[in-house]
Amino acid sequence: MGPKPGGASRLGSSLNAARDACLQELEDPQAALITDPALPSCEECCRMSVVISPQAVRDLLKLETNARIAKHLVPEVGFVERLVLFWSNHFNVFSRGMESMLALMGNMERTAIRPHVLGKFPDMLKAVMRHPAMLRYLDNNVSMGPNSVQGLRLKRSYNENLAREILELHTLGVQGGYTQQDIINLALIITGWTVNSATPENVAGQFRFNPDWHEPGAFTVLDRSFAQGGIEQGLAALDMLARHPKTAEHIAFKLVQHFVTDKPTSAQVRALSRVFTRTQGDLKEVAGALLGMSGAWTAPLVRIRQPYLWAMAVSRALSMEPGMVNRIHYPSTRIMWGNDPWGRQTPDGYPDENYFWENANHMRIRLEAMNIFMDTYQSRFASVIANVERLPDDLLPGAMSPRSKQAVVDAARQISRRAGLAMLFLSPEFMRR
């Protein structure tokens, strides 16, 4: 997530030390979990999503966002947090302008994604597809089998929105060998995966499998037939998709692209996808293999930190304590402009291609955002600002060029100390990863 002051002296500054610290994070089974008791349970969030109080859901979203950012600040390296963000983006959801959805998006990440980030991909897939946030975002909550009990009675039918995205985005990937008929059949298999209405209150807004909405019959997806059944029919289909070789390839490609290089080679993708297949989607094993991948630590720093990650790296570099998060209003400084949490409208998530983030518009906005951020919050970070000239060696020992260090010193002396800090955060060594 970005270095913290003193980190190098605690961990050692060699590449091996960094890799060991990442591997060690993976060994903590709790590493991905947010256990803040102030956050409501999944059941409570679901209830809030149908018993709507606009102020309450907006407050809840803020609570979820702050808890997430606070969690980013804690670990020394933050590799697991990076994995959480990767998976959250893989299963992107958006409010679609429905205030009620705001109660669900943070919860989905917290209760359907985080518990499986060091677990199994099939479990994560099945948890996400049963979370009201995903079901409502992609309309499966209203999808009804045309020959189901209620479908026949109400003359209603299914939509293929979620089924298409499961195949295209979440599992096999584009050109993953599925047909339009596979999409339709999967859509029929998951009819009845819906969300409770506001009553009865003890289950309001929660996931529900409604057998009266479920299309009867056996259906084939990718040449595998799934026998007539209830929810287990869909769970079996998701299990098959999660373990499919094309899914392994797709996930491996995305992981290498995100963590290592804009242009993954087929050797890199093949190596990682073999681990995924061999371990049946054990994401801890896959993450470990990613850390050991050739080029993972030696690839030149060519990718730019996306704005949200950049804002987090800045916060960590400023020694921000988790308790301070609610006193920083990131959006108004534009420091994460274009990359707000749960701000991506389309189900493909924020693009990972470097060009999307490294361009004329974004660079100018970063420059201005850094001005605003440092001016607005200078008093909160007074002690870091006072030490600005020592910070480059503290944060990035041996990694900052003399030219960049000189630029920090020049800005600090000729403009202001906080301008020196801004120069550090805008330096190529800090912007890239």
Side-chain-side CA neighbours of 218 within 13 Å: the count stands at 6
User: In angstroms, what is the minimal distance from the CB of 401 to other proteins?
Assistant: 6
User: In angstroms, what is the minimal distance from the CB of 75 to other proteins?
Assistant: 28
Q: Does 97 bind other proteins (CB under 8 A)?
A: yes
Residue type, 62: K
Which residue intervals of 318-396 are DSSP H helices? 330-333, 360-377, 382-386, 391-395
Residue type, 202: N
**Which of 123, 139, 239, 394 touches other proteins (CB under 8 A)?**
139
From 22-30, 120-128, 285-293, 396-404, give the range in contact with other proteins by CB under 8 A.
396-404
**How many residues form the binding site for other proteins (CB under 8 A)?**
64
C-alpha radius of gyration, the chain, whole number: 23
Q: Does 338 bind other proteins (CB under 8 A)?
A: yes
User: Structure tokens of 369?
Assistant: 């955002």
**Which of 109, 165, 182, 215 touches other proteins (CB under 8 A)?**
165
Q: Give me the 39-78 binding string for other proteins, x by CB under 8 A, dash otherwise.
A: ----------------------------------------
Report the relative pairing of strands 219-221 and 207-209 from DSSP bridges. unpaired
Q: Measure the CA–CA gap between 326 and 65, rounded to whole angstroms.
A: 9
User: Structure tokens of 270?
Assistant: 């093949």
Q: For residues 234-293, which are near other proteins according to CB under 8 A?
A: 249-250, 253-254, 257, 264, 266, 269
Q: Does 168 bind other proteins (CB under 8 A)?
A: yes
User: In angstroms, what is the minimal distance from the CB of 284 to other proteins?
Assistant: 23
Residue type, 86: F
CA 385 to mean position of chain CA atoms: 31
Q: Measure the CA–CA gap between 403 and 111, rounded to whole angstroms.
A: 46
From 41-49, 237-245, 285-293, 423-431, give the range in contact with other proteins by CB under 8 A.
423-431
User: Could you give phi then psi for residue 121, rounded to 5 degrees?
Assistant: -60, -45
**Which of 17, 56, 74, 431 touches other proteins (CB under 8 A)?**
431
User: In angstroms, what is the minimal distance from the CB of 33 to other proteins?
Assistant: 30
Q: Which of 106, 123, 114 is nearest to 28 (CA)?
A: 114
CA distances from 9 to 14, 15, 180, 218, 316 (A): 11, 13, 56, 61, 16
Q: What pairs with residue 194 in β-bridges?
A: 208
Q: Would you say 34 or 365 has its CB closer to other proteins? A: 365
User: In angstroms, what is the minimal distance from the CB of 337 to other proteins?
Assistant: 8
Q: For residues 171-230, which are near other proteins according to CB under 8 A?
A: 173-176
Q: What pairs with residue 221 in β-bridges?
A: 224
User: In angstroms, what is the minimal distance from the CB of 38 to other proteins?
Assistant: 30
Q: Measure the CA–CA gap between 25 and 196, rounded to whole angstroms.
A: 38
Q: Does 102 bind other proteins (CB under 8 A)?
A: no
Q: Measure the CA–CA gap between 294 and 268, rounded to whole angstroms.
A: 8
Q: Which residues bind other proteins (CB under 8 A)?
A: 96-98, 138-139, 159-161, 164-165, 168, 173-176, 249-250, 253-254, 257, 264, 266, 269, 334, 337-338, 345-348, 351-353, 355, 358-365, 367-368, 371-372, 375, 401, 403-404, 407, 410-411, 414-416, 419, 422-423, 426-428, 431-432
